Amino acid sequence: MSDEKELRYDPATIEPKWQQRWAADPSLYAAEPASCGKPKFYVLEMLPYPSGQLHMGHVRNYSIGDALARHMWMCGYNVLHPMGWDAFGLPAENAALKNNVPPREWTLNNIAGMKRQFNRLGMAFDWAAEVTTCLPDYYRWNQWFFLRMYERGLAYRKKSKVNWCRECATVLANEQVIDGRCWRHEDTIVEQRDLVQWFFRITAYAQELLDGLDKLDGWPEKVRTMQRNWIGRSEGTEVDFFLEEKIDQGLGTRDEGLGASRIRVFTTRVDTIFGATSVQLAPQHALVAGFTAADAALKTQVDELIEQQKKAREAGDLGAIEKHGVPTGHFAINPYNGERVPIWIANYILADYGTGAIMSVPAHDERDFEFAVKYGLPIQQVIHPEDKSMAVVLPFVSEEGVLVNSGEFDGLNCAEAEKRLQQIAAAKGFGEAKVTYRLKDWGVSRQRYWGTPIPMVYCQAHCEGDGPLPVPDEQLPVLLPEQIEISRRGGQGGSPLARVPEFVNTTCPKCGGPAKRETDTMDTFVDSSWYFYRYTDAKNAKAPFDSDIVKYWFPIDQYIGGVEHAILHLIYSRFWTRVMRDLGMVENDEPVRRMFTQGMVIKDGHKMSKSKGNVVSPDDMIARYGADAARAYSLFAAPPDRDLDWQEDGVAGVSRFLARVWRLTTKYAPVARAGRGDGAQAAVPTGVSLKLLRKLHQTIAKITLDFDGRWHFNTSIAAVMELVNEIQAADAQLAAGEVPPAVMLELLRSLVLLLAPFAPHLVAELWEELGEESSVLRAPWPASDPELAKEDELEVPVQINGKLVTVVRVAADADAKTLEAAALADEKVQARIAGKTVVKLIVVPRKLVNLVVK
Ligand SMILES: [Zn+2]
Ligand SMILES: [Zn+2]
């Protein structure tokens, strides 16, 4: 029974061998058609940007999904586990500027390199479903969707603010603005300019996107909360304050027939309106220009407010802005009581929220109170607790109260008052009940080259007026020209595409005369909003996908990615799904049933990043320890939802563990192989066999539960380690042949199966070593036998008056009576209760005995 084979675990030999075999058999990881009759499981990790290098965060993210995919295959599911590339975007243009490589070439090279890395990691991706968003076979469908949205009024143009660098003479993305200056011109302050931009009307779905969150119980609560806040629904009232004096015509608050004589404010507490002691405008409010035109000093102050707001916006926390304001010297009239209040301009009022104007009620709002105290504005209490005798500390922000100092509305509770005041406003035409959202329409125009061209043209003969004309479907795709000079040219602005006459000049689809193409490209979030539908039918040349195939696979059963995508990507894709549903293309409302956000990989206290110089390269780790060790470590070192502190010692430790599994299995594989078809398995196990089988079945139960539940793969792998320890501890008995071959086979076979989601190469090799011929992915996941897993004895703690006195050993299935008897018979217990009275006895089978004695 000796095994002369060299017992050395060598991932550098094993891993490439299996990668070659897997590459030669694409059916191994391929999804099957719906007709296969198996239940489906769609597991997806967010697709990477092809930067050229996988990093450890990727390794972790994909190891989680890969483990789940493998587990589900073994559980008998038809698994879809695809991969693709979020391949448009600014870095390719920057690389082109820097290295003079065309963006397409740079991107496709990076994809090839990262694909090699994925394969070197042994990831089980269905490459037949690969999607590369920068290729025309994909982005033509972005254009097609754009046209469908345009037809339905969901894509439209409007003027909007953009970042503009005078030196670059072009628009900058937000990430190119650093401390308010151009990323390439540190001395140049970035300006805000108005530019006509394309938008998607996501706000049309605001309420539905909000309501849908309630049903997404498979999503992390923090992601749902972030989305709720992002959508930011508030119920309230719009009310017009009247301008005391007429200022120049044409400076109206909102051009809705209200004229220039009113300021419309949005408030969630119209019941407090008798306590309004000022009206406050955003610095960009339409009225402000009129005030500042006649007041140079005011203009300077307002510019400062705008600057402060911009800085706070860049710092990422507008809510934390230090509040400043300036009085305009103008006054507004409260429409309910005719009271005259000053008009201020304040830096914390946002032009794009509500109406860009508020009424300030210091007595009943924290923020207004702070502002009023700072600037000495009056504070007028108008709400009091129902219990008149209660003292009130201002600001009193509760809505549980009644109105005071509010004329004919005194005595009404807040809710009644709100309703009455809204009715009056509506009847008299100075306001209405209103729901507002913080969510804004999605600006999709980018003045960049490396993105999907927007399929619109402008007729030079203006045969349809000045408006855009959609490119007919049969002319799609509007191809991105491949050879293009990206370098900036002084004095010119806009998209680099505007400088490519072959692209720009076209014919009008309506009159056939000369026309110019739209030169803006689409935000790359468009690409990622629906890519996972394309995976199900990636080669379809006639449609984005076949609806029947999508109906089978959707919603995605499990999506895995970073929490940094909680807002934009995960809201946009929920919006896109609803648009497709309303186009009759899909039946699901939501794209993703269960969402998982993994933690970050950190090292030396910081997230791995080039700038911190703490990046660990997957290639290095693979060269040193093998892909299996790198993958298993990334799952073992922390629960997947927590941050992982990368320790190379830990990788080495996991590598040593895999080597032990290797030695153990190869050593006893000949015995196990002899157990195949051996009837001895039917015999009731005893002795060391029973002990090892019990541990095995407990381990199976635990890991199976980990996959169903919280994915604490760190404890799963720890459990396999314990199992291996226990088998190794019995080495003398194994060597002496005390464990029959059939039991040996079950032990080793199951050990290998349990590791299959975590260390696929090693497992494939050992699976073959055990005499198995088909892929381990086609072998059923082991089932735990509850009888075998059951401990025959348990230790149960015994407490007296709440203090632990001893533990008693009883049969695991001992009932309360038996356990009580065992506890009372214990010597230590007898000594403690001698001469006393047991007044109470609590027995929890398997868990606890507690005696209360006097
Ligand atoms: Zn610049
Ligand atoms: Zn025309």
Instruction: Output DSSP code: residue 797.
Output: E
**Each residue of 322-336: pLDDT tens digit?**
899 999 999 999 999
CA of 237 to the centre of ligand 1 (A): 43
Q: Which ligand is nearest to the CA of 459?
A: 2
What is the secondary structure of 773-795 as a DSSP string? Answer: -S-GGGSPPPPP-HHHHS-SEEE
Q: Which residues contact 559 (CB under 8 A, 6 or more apart)?
A: 44, 45, 46, 532, 591, 592, 594, 595, 596
Q: Are 520 and 445 in contact (CB under 8 A)?
A: yes
CA of 187 to the centre of ligand 1 (A): 9
CA of 495 to the centre of ligand 1 (A): 14
CA of 196 to the centre of ligand 2 (A): 21
pLDDT of 250 above 50? no
CA of 85 to the centre of ligand 1 (A): 29
Report the pLDDT averaged over residues 472-487: 88
CA of 156 to the centre of ligand 1 (A): 29
Q: Which ligand is nearest to the CA of 191?
A: 1
Give Cα 832 to chain centroid, integer Å: 58
Q: Which ligand is nearest to the CA of 468?
A: 2
Structure tokens given for 840: 């109470």
Q: Which ligand is nearest to the CA of 506?
A: 2
Q: How sure is the predictor about 653, in pLDDT bands with cuts at 50, 70 and 90?
A: very high
Q: Which ligand is nearest to the CA of 169?
A: 1
Q: Are 216 and 595 in contact (CB under 8 A)?
A: yes
What is the secondary structure of 454-512 as a DSSP string? Answer: P-EEEETT-EEEES-EEPPGGG---PPPSS---S--TT--S-GGGG-HHHHEEE-TTT-
CA of 511 to the centre of ligand 2 (A): 4
What is the secondary structure of 547-579 as a DSSP string? Answer: HHHHHHHPSBSEEEEEGGGTTHHHHHHHHHHHH
Whole-number Å distance between alpha carbons of 79 and 535: 13
Q: Which ligand is nearest to the CA of 182?
A: 1
CA of 450 to the centre of ligand 1 (A): 19
CA of 171 to the centre of ligand 1 (A): 9
Q: Which ligand is nearest to the CA of 185?
A: 1
CA of 474 to the centre of ligand 2 (A): 18
Instruction: Output DSSP code: residue 592.
Output: B
Sign of the CA dihedral running 357, 359, 365, 368: positive
Q: pLDDT value at position 171?
A: 74
Q: Are 361 and 296 in contact (CB under 8 A)?
A: no
φ and ψ of 631, to 5 deg? -65, -50
Report the pLDDT averaged over residues 153-162: 91
Q: pLDDT value at position 128?
A: 96
C-alpha atoms less than 13 angstroms from C-alpha of 436 in its C-beta half-sphere: 15
Q: Which ligand is nearest to the CA of 516?
A: 2
Q: Which ligand is nearest to the CA of 171?
A: 1
Sort strands 469-470 and 601-603 into parallel, antiparallel or unpaired. Answer: unpaired
**Each residue of 542-577: pLDDT tens digit?**
999 999 999 999 999 999 999 888 888 999 999 999
Q: pLDDT value at position 6?
A: 53
**Each residue of 498-523: pLDDT tens digit?**
889 999 999 999 999 999 999 999 99
For the chain, what is the mean pLDDT? 91
**Each residue of 208-233: pLDDT tens digit?**
999 999 999 999 999 999 999 999 99
The model carries a pTM of 0.84
Maximum separation of any 2 CA atoms in the chain, in Å: 111
Cis, bond preceding 555 (omega within 30 deg of 0): yes
Sign of the CA dihedral running 691, 692, 693, 697: positive
CA of 512 to the centre of ligand 2 (A): 6
Which 3 state secondary structure label does DSSP give 653? Answer: helix
Which 3 state secondary structure label does DSSP give 839? Answer: strand
What residues pack around ion ligand 2 (CB closer than 5 A)?
A: 459, 461, 463, 508, 510-511
Whole-number Å distance between alpha carbons of 97 and 721: 51
Whole-number Å distance between alpha carbons of 35 and 28: 18
pLDDT of 644 above 70? yes
pLDDT of 778 above 50? yes
Q: Which ligand is nearest to the CA of 189?
A: 1
pLDDT of 260 above 80? no
CA of 502 to the centre of ligand 2 (A): 18
Query: Which CA distances in Å does 842 have to 389, 811, 835?
Result: 51, 18, 20
Q: pLDDT value at position 258?
A: 38
What percentage of the chain exceeds 70 in pLDDT?
A: 95
CA of 467 to the centre of ligand 2 (A): 10
Report the pLDDT averaged over residues 391-404: 93
CA of 216 to the centre of ligand 2 (A): 47
Which among 245-249, 483-487, 489-493 has the top mean pLDDT? 483-487
